[in-house]
A and B are shown apart, each in its own frame.
Chain A
């Protein structure tokens, strides 16, 4: 079945460490997104990518980095510059605009905790 796989489900990071969250999709979607979810703040866009080797900052990109070397993969690195990284992270993908399908498919999320 097609879908999005995020791993790991739970991740613990020590102060000053970089960690990478994985996101893989087999839906042949062109666009991929990373959202951060905090209590009472909904989902906020970190980064998004429309095509391979191209990505744009979202609303809260500081302290994060991404890459898009393959269509299927869009990993997110939480760097030590991110001052408050404890949150729930959701990855999503969508087909190319203009196809008439504007639905997002979401992964099951990664819970990151700083210890």
Chain B
């Protein structure tokens, strides 16, 4: 079975600084997706960034980028120029790609990020 581990329950960063959230996963599969989701105080889940395992290039979305190390099974999220609106719970998630079946998301336990003014 696949597992996702987020070892940092809480983190804090000053506004405008950079912070990195860690995520490791365990799988024997070679074809999968990895995701970072953000859950602000409203509790709405928002997709931040997605990485296909077959792509060597790290995904980026504006101030958000990932460091995907497939051999190490590591998938960290870097937030640059942190803003107060980035304050949220961040979940790392894994999706194994089945042939023709539903793709289930497996979540880590989350990292609560607080951006300080």
Query: A: which residues have CB within 8 A of B?
Result: 31, 33, 35, 40-45, 48-50, 56, 58, 88, 90, 92, 94, 97-98, 102-104, 106, 108-109
Contact = CB atoms under 8 A, between A and B. Distances in A.
Interface of B: 4, 6, 9, 33, 42-45, 47, 50, 91, 95, 97-98, 100-110
B109 A42 contact: yes
A94 B45 contact: no
B102 A31 contact: yes
B47 A104 contact: yes
Given A88-B43, A97-B97, A97-B98, A45 B109 contact: no
Contacts of B105: 33, 43, 45, 92, 104
B33 to A, nearest CB: 5
A97 B103 contact: yes
A42 B91 CA distance: 8
Contacts of B109: 40-42
B44 A48 contact: no
Contact of A48 (B9, B104, B107, B108): B104
B110 A42 contact: yes
A93 to B, nearest CB: 11
Given A103-B47, A106-B44, A97 B100 contact: yes
Contacts of A41: 109
A90 B108 contact: no
Contacts of A88: 43
